[in-house]
Chain A
Amino acid sequence: NAGVTQTPKFRVLKTGQSMTLLCAQDMNHEYMYWYRQDPGMGLRLIHYSVGEGTTAKGEVPDGYNVSRLKKQNFLLGLESAAPSQTSVYFCASSPPARTASTDTQYFGPGTRLTVL
């Protein structure tokens, strides 16, 4: 049981390049989330998904797109990277609704992205 995994762990991009971050979970969780962590800002929600094929915007969605084609995977895309997107990105998942721990999120190890 690997929990929540993220690839890649590190990446350096040039301004204008695109990339996709992959998040995978093996806990059969319905809900998945993408956050970014910046110094002094805590974690801010980018996008989230409440099930396969559904996504929604979080607090800071601009410049990002997401897809949830399979229940276990949640992809975060940057179409045209900007230096302001330099950050550490965390994926999380949580159990289905109507379970006792549906409000508890489980986090991946993070992806450190630098945009030059």
Chain B
Amino acid sequence: GDSVTQMEGPVTLSEEAFLTINCTYTATGYPSLFWYVQYPGEGLQLLLKATKADDKGSNKGFEATYRKETTSFHLEKGSVQVSDSAVYFCALSLLDSGYSTLTFGKGTMLLVSP
């Protein structure tokens, strides 16, 4: 079946450090790929998405590129802030009969210290 694998956390960084969170996927079709972020005590928010190979999703300084050849969608940010501390979920979506369901990775906690 479809699945998403992302690096285990927590990832602990100092402010202004470079961030990479790895994500790879297995899918039978041609999925859309997402990163969602969950701040403490809140629901998930869409951070960025990409719908086809070589697309780059970006938002709030975060970027991820859809790499079909390596089935990956790694999240990067050049300079993290304390306010980026959250849990990050990689997910894929396959349209099936006109609607989609999301398959999530297990999440990676990011802790940024001043």
Binds A, one of B10-18, B75-83, B96-104: B96-104
CB distance from B50 to the nearest CB of A (A): 11
CB distance from B77 to the nearest CB of A (A): 21
Tell me whether B99 and A102 are in contact (CB under 8 A). Answer: yes
B61 within 8 A of A: no
Closest B residue, CB atoms, query A49: B99
> What size tier do the contact residues of chain A reach?
20 to 34
Tell me whether A50 and B106 are in contact (CB under 8 A). Answer: no
The count of chain B contact residues (Cβ–Cβ below 8 Å) is 22
Tell me whether A102 and B100 are in contact (CB under 8 A). Answer: yes
A33 within 8 A of B: yes
- Take A42-B106, A109-B42, A109-B43 as given contacts and tell me if A33 and B89 are in contact as well, using a CB distance cutoff of 8 Å: no
CB distance from B113 to the nearest CB of A (A): 23
Sample of 28 A–B contacts (CB below 8 Å): A30-B99, A33-B101, A41-B106, A42-B89, A42-B105, A42-B106, A43-B102, A43-B104, A44-B104, A45-B102, A90-B44, A92-B44, A92-B102, A94-B100, A97-B98, A102-B98, A102-B100, A103-B49, A104-B34, A105-B46, A105-B102, A106-B46, A107-B43, A107-B44, A107-B45, A108-B43, A109-B43, A110-B42
The 10 A-B pairs with the shortest beta carbon distances in the complex, nearest first, are A97-B98, A107-B43, A42-B106, A42-B104, A103-B100, A103-B93, A107-B44, A109-B43, A43-B104, A103-B32
* Interface of A toward B, CB cutoff 8 Å: 4, 30-31, 33, 40-45, 48, 50, 58, 90, 92, 94, 97-98, 102-110
* Interface of B toward A, CB cutoff 8 Å: 32, 34, 36, 42-46, 49, 51, 89, 93, 95, 98-102, 104-107
